[in-house]
Amino acid sequence: MKKEVIIILAIIALLPILFLLAPTIFPWVFLAGMIVLKMKYPVIKGAVGEWYVNRALDELGTQYRIFHDLYVPNGEGGTTQVDHVVTSPYGIFVIETKHYQGWIFGTENQRYWTQTIYKRKEKLFNPIWQNYGHIQAIKGYINKQDFKFIHSIIAFSQSSTFKFKEDFQSARVIQFPQLTKVIKEWNIECISQPELREINRALEGLILKDKNQKRQIKKQHVADIKNNRKEKVRKEKRDIRENVCPKCSGQLSMKKGKYGPFYGCSNFPKCRYTKQVS
């Protein structure tokens, strides 16, 4: 687990002792602890979820090799962060984990999915598209662009409820408890032992044992993501000013909708890009 989680658990364990030794300051310490716990809840939830997934994958058996938290070169001078990779004679499995709760809506070709908790809705980037990018980066890194035996798995927390209306073709979208069962559905050997050893050696090169080095790579990875987002926003604004669709380079025109005017693409319905007029 992450260091923050261990610290918080230690504080919780020490609270009864603090109550006995210093009852007058206990309420203030307890209040401060609750505030910190609320702030760190996403970190705790993610760490617990990753621990659950790691434990499940460790039960696959000796024919499977597990790699966690890899930063894979993306061919553009940066990296893409991959949660888990499982290698075996039966295929390579690239796993993207999502520690979400509530109802999850989305389709395979939809850019953003929706998480709904009561009346609150949040967008999340299509994890199938996200994992496709991870797979392409891995294929490039192991120098096997035409490799067919690599499978995409999106694993959500069991606190989520799927509201999908159609099956997915390019990925398996499941919940954590189904993970090992789904991986073992592939049970025909398709990768030779020499090729598997070659793939494992390549992935071993991504394992960072030096904590400072890993911290620096993670920091640079986060900075690259922020810069890419800013650049995408700038490009989108520039394209809109020039009436060019940032998604397909089609012609944009202003239209009237239920919620006011918006920009729509001339290639609709093939391209469904829209942008509200600010």
Given a contact cutoff of 8 angstroms between Cβ atoms, the answer to whether 179 and 57 are in contact is yes
d(CA 13, CA 7): 10
d(CA 28, CA 205): 48
Given a contact cutoff of 8 angstroms between Cβ atoms, the answer to whether 200 and 142 are in contact is no
- Tell me the per-residue pLDDT of 1-27, one tens digit each, with 9 for 90 and over: 455 555 555 556 666 665 566 666 656
Please measure the distance between the N-terminal and C-terminal CA atoms of the chain and give it in whole angstroms.
43
| pLDDT level of residue 75 (50, 70, 90 thresholds) | confident
d(CA 171, CA 188): 19
Residue 116: its H or E element: strand 112-117
Supply the mean pLDDT for the chain: 81
- Tell me the per-residue pLDDT of 194-237, one tens digit each, with 9 for 90 and over: 999 999 999 999 887 777 766 776 677 667 656 665 566 566 66
Q: What percent of the chain has pLDDT over 70?
A: 72
Pairing of strands 150-156, 172-175: parallel
* Residue 1 pLDDT: 47
Given a contact cutoff of 8 angstroms between Cβ atoms, the answer to whether 190 and 89 are in contact is yes
Tokens of 241: 């000013």
| pLDDT level of residue 50 (50, 70, 90 thresholds) | confident
Tokens of 265: 């693409």
* Residue for token pair 């520690």: 99
* Residue 232 pLDDT: 62
- Tell me the per-residue pLDDT of 112-138, one tens digit each, with 9 for 90 and over: 999 999 888 999 999 999 999 999 999
Tokens of 198: 């070659």
